[in-house]
Structure 1
Amino acid sequence: MATLESYAFPVIGDISIADLDGHHVREVIAPIWLPKQETARRVRQRISAVVDWSIGKGYRNLPLPMAAMDKSLPKVKSKSVHHAALPYVEVPAFVAYLRSGNSLGRLALVGLILTAARSGEIRGATWDEVDLDNALWTIPATRMKAGREHVVPLSRPALDIFMRAHKYRELRSNLVFPGLRRGKPLSDMTLTKICRDAGIAAVPHGFRSSFRDWVAEETEFDGDIAEMALAHAIASKVEAAYRRGNLLEKRRVLMDAWGTYCIPKKQTDEMRPDSL
């Protein structure tokens, strides 16, 4: 009611619901459409809800021509969201910092970095998705942003992370990285707080950019292979062939190289069961 009282009632409050038309609603929405986009959408939605109710009660016969009204409003330019990323040259030191502690949150964040996964993908990982014997993590389509199954080849360091997480496995949960609440995964804020406590100006999602920059600037790997590792759509004509073959082995080589960059082999061999 607060939004209707603030924006709708002063303009259309005295108009009968039976006489209300699209141009009336536009007079309410237009002044706040650009400066207060989210508020404008909510006001629009709530006016529509009132109109739908009034039709059901017999107070008016037709719905409002909202689609036509939308076309008369200024086009809203979408804003690109850039997640703060850590320069890739600083990633190995940050990973070493994470491994100096011993918590499930740090373990999950190292796993996120080594697999170039999204926060929700790593936090929601379940043991039935992980094949430790073949070093593969298969994320089902229902958990992927693009709605396609994504197979992640696990490098030696990444496999070690999953194997260490297995030592924490709880009978009450199938989650690889369970949170404190029963049956719930770690929260996204847990990983973000680890970054903040470390004093770095980066967020978990930004490590995907760190990985992509490393591929572009430090390796000879094909860009499409890197995009597939990130589960991004490939806009080239060879996409169909890439998807069909999945290029799993080439991606495995790439992820092995990234894993070795983040955690040199000597450090991986020295990892003790009681540490990260």
Structure 2
Amino acid sequence: MSMGFLDILSLDGKCFVKLSPFMKLISQFTVPFVMLGILSVITACYMVVLISRRKRLKAISGGEHVPWVKTAPFIDAYINLFGICTVPLLHTSFQLLICRKVGAVFVLKLAPDVECYTGPHSKWVAFATGITAFYILVFPLVVYFRRRRATQRILSQRFWQRNVSQLRAKIFKLHMFWWELAFLARDVMLVLMYVLWLAHPRQRTLSILMILFMSFIAHCYALPFVDRWDNAIETTSLLTLCYTAFVWHYPNRFQLSNERTDALVKNIFLYTGFASTATYIASRVSYELIGRFFLPMYAVDPSDYDVHHTPHT
């Protein structure tokens, strides 16, 4: 029986599905489509949250325009795609570093009987490594110099020269900035655990749980974030990450109809974990660093304070 895009064959009382070439091509992109769909939903939800905050942010900034609210979703999308595209390439690069070529295959240097998986994208390793190194080096420098320039611009105003203590207490919040860097480092460590221990589920799961436990203790001790949307994004991302690690740690719990379906489900869980982690990192970078840290600097309006009762010098 033929249905145009697939043929159902009957042999010895058993039915087999034979896909057409077009459906075979579509089936190869199932995991990326699912991953991009989940990523689009998460990004859309985050855009709704950002737009809902715009009125409150404009009130805080004295009615001034808040430009980062429009650009933050695009920053999210850029960092999400960057993270999702580079994690497999980083995994391949790490595999090539810890493996050596024997004949036509790669084996671990410490365990020659274990074959390495380098993937079909080995030719992109050098490019991905260079882009990743450039991003890691440039991002902190951009944060530092933009913050320094904004600080000099604010301190050059006479009003803030007379209210330096008020400025430091209500505007800069340096401890928040260092907490953001600490949590971003935590996210980078989680991604590295995925990359380094991808072939060793037990070590990777234990490492991830250790990092999450340490960050949970620090989070409860300091409580740097009190916003319910921040906690929702963080909790959802970390739960998805833990669930992905659990799926890879206990693959026998998820035996389905055939090996191809099992591999498809595991890939969906894996890329969902990567997508949630990348989304979480993007939300922290765009909302915390750009929103909470840069916004007061660019949206400071001295008229919000009692300027007329301040003694002029």
Per the normalisation by structure 1, the TM-score is 0.22
Structure with higher RCO (Cα < 8 A, 6+ apart): 2
Output the TM-score relative to the length of structure 2: 0.20
Identify, as 1 or 2, the structure richer in helix.
2
